Structure 1
Amino acid sequence: GKRKNSTYEAGKRSTAWLKVKATNSADFVIGGYTKGKGARAPLGALLLGYWQGNKLRYASHVGSGFDDRSIKRTKALLEPLQRKTNPFAEEPELNAPTSWVEPKLVAEVQFQGWTDDHHLRAPVFLRLRDDIDAKEVRHKVEKEKPSRSLSEVEQILDQLKTDRAALTLAVGAHQVRLTHLDRVYWPADPALKQPALTKRDLLRYFAQVSPFILPHLADRPLTMIRMPDGIHGQRFFQKHWEQERPDFVQTITVFSAHKDEQHAYLLCNNLPTLLWLAQSGTLEFHVWHSRAKPGPDTAGKGTDYASSLAALESSVLNYPDYVVFDIDPYIYSGKEAPGAEPELNTVAFEKAKEVAFWLRELLQGMSLEPIVKTSGKTGLHVFVPIRRTLDFDAARQVSEIVGRHLMRRHPKDITLEWSVPKRTGKIFMDYNMNVRGKTLNVAYSPRGAPGAPVSMPLTWEELANAHPLDFRLANAAERLARTGDRWGDVLKRKQSLEKVLERAKP
């Protein structure tokens, strides 16, 4: 791309022209560098970015492509530019001690393309560019923005800009009737400087985060927590939808061992369904840990979920995608009503984080790599993605074995007690969340709690400084636009439980 009024200048590089190379090399501003290991101790990787308006946007780390000479020269040029603060608009994920620098040096980098969250794939350092003004380094999208039609999400957001309290929303080829759009679901929260949030705000949120939340909802039987009059009104815990529903809403029929009958569950497999459920006052989306979708890890498993208990137990729905560790603080603030659950408080959440890091260390010692998200309330959800070769009973066994081992290490901090009074002052680890039919709120689901918190997947580095109210309906979409889905590839990171169970045998 180039400026319309620019001219070609022979033998001279012009900032008016942006060269798009077939080899995917481009120039980036250096905003910091990390310490390396061994012979690379002086410089492990550069932190790269590009200007967007007056903000320096983080693009990637690059640690490949250096030789001894380029390391020595780059480090010598960066040392005089050191500063105390991060120059990027975002907080890059850091994996080593980092020095920030004034964004004045430019590096040319070869890479294989851009990820969905605007980071570089497989970057390799080529050289420093002394002939480039750092302020002129901009993402090519900013230089040339091709005209395009509005996306489905943008069309929905445009329709929701109306002041009308009711409308028929066009969602692709489907229509969703919306009413009471100005009804307050979450009252204003002065402490968070957050205005009242309405049904309209909820619908906007779901439209914006739909690319992120729908993959985590797909093919999983859904339990809805509906609050049609807001978080201080009546709550409905709804597993089955008996009322009329639109044609775009998919369902699955599952055999119930308790009543020896079949029940229909909703599947939230598309954007119209997500928005239709929001219209019905569904604030929280709770899903099974298994999916009604065969895959490479479900060979020989059936898709008959309804005819009998035996059929259900031999189906893919009896084989979870995760071992779940539900970390639930029973540490009270002192402000709770008699008999009430502990309310969100910092002391409780800090202890939950400490237990989560102990759990991670233990699981890593078992060659299992866990992932983590906030529950949106007081606790944390730690998941271990697994291949669907073992059923819920096996997953529950692993969760209990690990939980009891961790409790023996930290008996003053952790409990597996079912008696609520015996949990007081401790972190309760509920291994029975690994039972078929049990649910937890899905990633990015809002919670019906003051402040409108959402359940947010995090990196372990992010967890260290996190608080549940950092992630709310009012700011979560902006974060996701910046970071992408931290759990976006979770179903590709499956691990085997067989070896863990073999070692656990007496």
Structure 2
Amino acid sequence: MSEEILTLPGRDGQERSVRLSNPDKPVWPATDDEPAITKRELAAYVVAVGEPLLRTIADRPVTLQRFRGGVTGEEFYSKNPPKGAPEWVRTVMCTYPSGRRHPQLVVDEIATAVWAVQMSTVTFHPWPVRTEDTDHVDELRIDLDPQPGTGFDEARAAAHALRELMLDLDLTPWVKTSGHRGLHVYSRVRPTHEFLDARHAAIGICRELERRLPDLVTTAWWKEERGARIFLDYNQMNRDRTITSAYSPRPLPGAPASMPLRWEELDAASPRDFTVRTVPGLLAERGDAWAGMDAAVGDLVAAHALWKADVDRGLPELNFPPDHPKMPGEPPRVAPSRKNAANWSEDGTRRSPRRP
């Protein structure tokens, strides 16, 4: 088996040696139009985008999306650091929705990112917290997810409207492609709110946008209720729920990458423009659209006030992801079309079956 040894920068100016085994192994298979993208190419991509990539994932717990045999092979997620991690790889202890705790990888140098590629990583999924305090959110994230009958054009219109709303709430919004059909809108915030309160702030924003644009966006958790609208995924703000990082490749045909954009670039942008093969050149030409994010820190007070106002008006809690514990006030975890009203109480709990 062939291998290469890469010498890469580490923290504090130290150099790291990273072994890249089988560098000619395809990660994305060849197509009629393009040759295969190899492990060597993916590692070179990570090095080329290393500085802005680290601005988005460094000093954060990171989940690795890995593949055996390339992106067409077996997919799995690493929350525990992969075995055999070099001694210079950093970790941080995290608490999960179940209450259990274990360390997660921290990718705060290019060498760690390339070592993750060696470990079959394609996509990096950072938490919205810093390692100093993994319980308080420092980054608001809203995923604009096109539903059947909608696409990137509708997501773009929703993103512009979301930007105006966030500016009204003293939040500085930043946009990127998801690497697929949608868009992600972020804002740096002061780490004053824990996950549940940050999620409620996101719901407050999403419900307000839904009131303004009811035919374009929806907060409906159940797919059967969304219609041809953009789903505003508020649940990305839950503990242990993560979004593809900026500059991360996606395991999709064409090797797309999640690309930060300036707002004035959004109207002319197409997700197909941003791939493992095109992003390094675009970055060198245009610079990092998110370079100023760390200097634009807002807070979630006004957004959380929207949530509290909705609660005062009688609006209920919204559904949590199925891997989270059932939460107080949460609606029934059953699709409306499958819900038998006789089996559920008004507070959303299942009635015990009647015995004969």
Provide TM-score, normalisation by structure 2.
Answer: 0.80
Structure 1 unaligned blocks of 5 or more: 1-163, 294-315, 333-346
**Alpha-carbon offset, residue 257 of structure 1:** 4.8
Matching residue of 1:462: 265
* Equivalent of 1:177 in 19, 38, 51: 19
2:251 is equivalent to residue 448 of structure 1: yes
Aligned partners of 1:228 and 1:280 also within 8 Å: no
The structure whose RCO (Cα within 8 Å, separation 6+) is larger is: 2
Helix, strand or coil at the partner of 1:216: helix
* Equivalent of 1:220 in 60, 63, 85: 60
Aligned partners of 1:225 and 1:236 also within 8 Å: yes
2:3 is equivalent to residue 166 of structure 1: yes
2:52 is equivalent to residue 229 of structure 1: no
C-alpha separation between the residues in 2 aligned to 1:199 and 1:421?
Answer: 40
Matching residue of 1:267: 106
Q: How does 1:219-368 map to 2 (within 5 A)?
A: 219-241=59-81, 243-258=83-98, 260-293=99-132, 316-331=133-148, 348-368=151-171
Q: 1:253 to 1:363 in 2, by over 3 A?
A: closer
C-alpha separation between the residues in 2 aligned to 1:279 and 1:363?
Answer: 39
Letter in 2 for 1:432: N
Q: 1:358 to 1:212 in 2, by over 3 A?
A: same
Structure 2 unaligned blocks of 5 or more: 10-14, 313-356
Helix, strand or coil at the partner of 1:168: strand
**Deviations 1:239-259 (Å, cap 9, x if unpaired)?**
11252211121111223451x
Q: Which is greater in Rg? A: 1
C-alpha separation between the residues in 1 aligned to 2:7 and 2:299?
Answer: 44
* Equivalent of 1:414 in 199, 217, 221: 217
* Equivalent of 1:210 in 41, 50, 53: 50
User: How many percent identity over aligned positions?
Assistant: 36
**Alpha-carbon offset, residue 352 of structure 1:** 0.8
Matching residue of 1:343: none
C-alpha separation between the residues in 2 aligned to 1:254 and 1:500?
Answer: 26
Letter in 2 for 1:264: P
**Deviations 1:176-213 (Å, cap 9, x if unpaired)?**
221121111112345xx543211111011011111111
Matching residue of 1:492: 295
C-alpha separation between the residues in 1 aligned to 2:105 and 2:194?
Answer: 23
Aligned partners of 2:129 and 2:137 also within 8 Å: yes
C-alpha separation between the residues in 2 aligned to 1:463 and 1:349?
Answer: 10
C-alpha separation between the residues in 2 aligned to 1:262 and 1:501?
Answer: 28
How large is the Cα RMSD of the aligned pairs?
1.9
* Equivalent of 1:434 in 237, 251, 273: 237
* Equivalent of 1:186 in 28, 46, 51: 28
**Alpha-carbon offset, residue 436 of structure 1:** 2.2
Letter in 2 for 1:328: D
Aligned partners of 2:28 and 2:70 also within 8 Å: yes
Letter in 2 for 1:223: T
Q: What is the number of equivalent residue pairs in this alignment?
A: 304
Letter in 1 for 2:38: T
Letter in 1 for 2:4: L
Provide TM-score, normalisation by structure 1.
Answer: 0.57
**Alpha-carbon offset, residue 445 of structure 1:** 0.5
**Deviations 1:446-478 (Å, cap 9, x if unpaired)?**
000011111111011111111111111001011
Deviates more, 1:281-290 or 1:411-420: 411-420
Matching residue of 2:316: none
**Alpha-carbon offset, residue 500 of structure 1:** 4.2
Q: 1:499 to 1:327 in 2, by over 3 A?
A: closer
C-alpha separation between the residues in 1 aligned to 2:297 and 2:91?
Answer: 27
**Alpha-carbon offset, residue 502 of structure 1:** 4.4
Letter in 2 for 1:174: R
**Alpha-carbon offset, residue 424 of structure 1:** 4.1
Letter in 2 for 1:441: T
Q: How does 1:96-135 map to 2 (within 5 A)?
A: none
Q: How does 1:395-414 map to 2 (within 5 A)?
A: 395-414=198-217
Helix, strand or coil at the partner of 1:482: helix
Aligned partners of 1:326 and 1:429 also within 8 Å: yes
Helix, strand or coil at the partner of 2:265: helix
Q: 1:256 to 1:434 in 2, by over 3 A?
A: closer
**Alpha-carbon offset, residue 409 of structure 1:** 2.5
2:173 is equivalent to residue 370 of structure 1: yes
Matching residue of 2:185: 382
**Alpha-carbon offset, residue 220 of structure 1:** 0.8
Aligned partners of 1:228 and 1:282 also within 8 Å: no
